[in-house]
Amino acid sequence: MYDAIFVGSGINSLVGAALLSKAGWKVCVLERSSWLGGAIRTAEITEPGFMHDIFSAWHPLFAGSEAFGLLKKDLAERGLEYLNTEYPTATLMPDGSAAFLATSQPANVQEFDRLAPAEGAAWAQTLDEFLKNADLAFGLLGTELWSGAGLQLAAKSFRRLRTRGALEFSAALLGTSRDWLTSTFRAPAVHGLLAPWVLHMGLGPEGAGSGLMNKIIAVALQLGGMPVPRGGGAKLADALVRLIRDAGGQLETGAHVERVEVKNGRAVGVRSRGKLIEVRKAVICSVTPQQLYTQLLERRFLPDWVVDRAQRFRYGRADMQIHLALSEPPRWPHGDQRFLRTAIVHVNDGLDGVSRAVNEAERGLIPADPTVVVGQPVAVDPSRAPEGCWIFWLQLQELPSHPKGDAAGQLDTSDGTWTESLRERYADRVMAKLARQIPNLESSIRKRVVLSPADLEASNINLVGGDPYSGSCAPDQFFLWRPFAGVANHRTPVHGLYHIGASTHPGPGLHGTSGLLVAKHLLGQAKLRKLAAK
């Protein structure tokens, strides 16, 4: 008999379980995969000594989160150490021109002015205006919006901004990245530097809501950089697991949950491997809406409208990852040494290039010229590869789950699925694009491992169709409406059953906020404050 059972061991489950365990709850975490951490996994998947983050890789959201603030001391005592770099991101354009974003405001003003006159002032003004109301913007992503705290956030915004300002702030929630970028900056390189970041929310530059999210991410990059745990992302999961176990919690792998057991309208346990595991207070599921409402729960316990809306929950574009073990560091264009100190380089054709590739993917086409996310973990943590070697963590976020065609007219998509052949041929296209900019790339590759959208879904059932964000972040599935209208505050129609994870508010990202919010509800603010003081 446990106080709380978590289904799934992603970041939200581990954060929630850690907080409840610290508060004295008897906690159990059940994970169907062979590792704990969900989309957090570090392994030598190419060659010995090359430590690749196989799925998620970068931790700016968690390192700046309330959850980390509450658990920082405990995690540090269990071996978690974050490393950072002064250059969180850069962009490389087809003509070899580049732009960098640093963690220093003066450096960014100087860099933007280099790209075009007065661009530095435009960036400084953007930052200044945003920071005046940063608590409101970040509050949207860290508060249960259908709650007293949500009402307090709304009241605060009206008191500070008055009616006109509040309406303008609300309107900005629906603005697009293209509108914000083109109305604020003139330099194409600045557009190319900032626009690709909307992809990391599953959006595109023309998507409603992409403007605010683009601005939030851009400001957060300057303020917090691009931290990663020393030794790989799994060090975060490892530290959380140790904390839970040290507090008496139990975690199991290979434990698929078949059903949530309900009695008299309340969750009383889960059935796993044919056995009933009972619970006193809460069952907390980090799953998709379809899994929760059409697989884990019997239909008789649910209103018809809940099942209908769960079945209509939409997933976004698919993702591909390419992991490269390199025998030497890349020779980026013009010998600019800043590249070798940059965590993520977007190789793209500017704002229009990002838009074009997103449009192609959303029409079911494999993009002819994708935006390539080039992650360089060794730039932040040299221990991740043998001395003198390098790692590329490549991400392609503009792909269809079920390809209908190839925008370049070169690849065979007649099967309509991500076959091994299609996966490798598309990876060849990506490699050719990078090789045009990095002359020693092909000669330095020791081994390549590619994960297609189908591979990602096979590794984690929450990544439906290869969507790394577990659901479209369009406005009707975001903020107040995630996962869908009618369910709120991570509660469900079944008492004692909670829904967390990327499919729920505040959406995707390695932050642990939904797990934190449920822990807050279960413990109460007073108990949480006591935990923070420990």
pLDDT per position as a tens digit, 134-153: 899 889 899 998 888 888 99
Rounded average pLDDT over 69-85:
97
Quickly name the fold that domain 2-39+61-82+231-313+470-533 has. FAD/NAD(P)-binding domain (3.50.50)
* Reported pTM: 0.96
Please report the pLDDT score of residue 87 as a whole number.
98
d(C-alpha 11, C-alpha 55), whole Å: 13
Asked if the model's pLDDT at residue 244 lies above 80, the reply is: yes
Asked if the model's pLDDT at residue 162 lies above 90, the reply is: no
Asked if the model's pLDDT at residue 168 lies above 90, the reply is: no
Query: Looking at the DSSP assignment, which residues form a beta bridge with residue 445?
Result: 326
Q: Where are the beta strands (DSSP E) in 96-207?
A: 98-101
Nearest alpha-carbon partner for 320 in 55, 41, 90, 91? 55
Q: What's the CA dihedral at 68, 71, 75, 81 to 10 degrees?
A: 30
Please report the pLDDT score of residue 521 as a whole number.
95
Rounded average pLDDT over 176-198:
97
With beta carbons less than 8 A apart as the criterion, state whether 509 and 12 touch.
no
Please report the pLDDT score of residue 400 as a whole number.
98
For residue 118, what pLDDT band results from cuts at 50, 70 and 90?
A: very high
Q: Where are the alpha helices (DSSP H) in 199-233?
A: 210-224
d(C-alpha 245, C-alpha 449), whole Å: 34
Cα-Cα-Cα-Cα dihedral sign, residues 78, 84, 90, 92: negative
**Mean of per-residue pLDDT scores for the chain:** 95
- The three-state DSSP-derived secondary structure of 379-436 is HHCHHHCCCCCEEEEEEEEEECCCCCEECCCCCCCCCCCCCHHHHHHHHHHHHHHHHC
Asked if the model's pLDDT at residue 529 lies above 80, the reply is: no
Cis peptide before 506 (omega within 30 of 0): yes
d(C-alpha 257, C-alpha 28), whole Å: 12
What does the DSSP 8-state code read for residue 157?
H
* Cβ-based burial of 486 (10 A; exposed 0-12, middle 13-18, buried ≥19): exposed
Domain regions of the chain by residue span: 2-39+61-82+231-313+470-533, 106-192+206-216, 317-459
Greatest mean pLDDT among 129-133, 271-275, 405-409: 405-409
Please report the pLDDT score of residue 356 as a whole number.
98
With beta carbons less than 8 A apart as the criterion, state whether 324 and 53 touch.
no
Please report the pLDDT score of residue 151 as a whole number.
87
Q: What CA–CA distances, in Å, run from 464 to 38, 249, 288, 422, 449?
A: 14, 30, 9, 19, 21
Q: What CA–CA distances, in Å, run from 367 to 224, 315, 364, 430, 473?
A: 32, 19, 9, 10, 21
> What φ, ψ does residue 207 adopt, rounded to 5°?
-75, 135
Please report the pLDDT score of residue 123 as a whole number.
98
Looking at the chain, the whole-number percentage of residues with pLDDT higher than 70 is: 99
How many Cβ atoms sit within 10 Å of the Cβ of residue 501?
A: 29
Asked if the model's pLDDT at residue 533 lies above 70, the reply is: no
With beta carbons less than 8 A apart as the criterion, state whether 503 and 289 touch.
yes
Rounded average pLDDT over 470-483:
94
How many DSSP H helices and E strands does the chain contain?
A: 20, 20
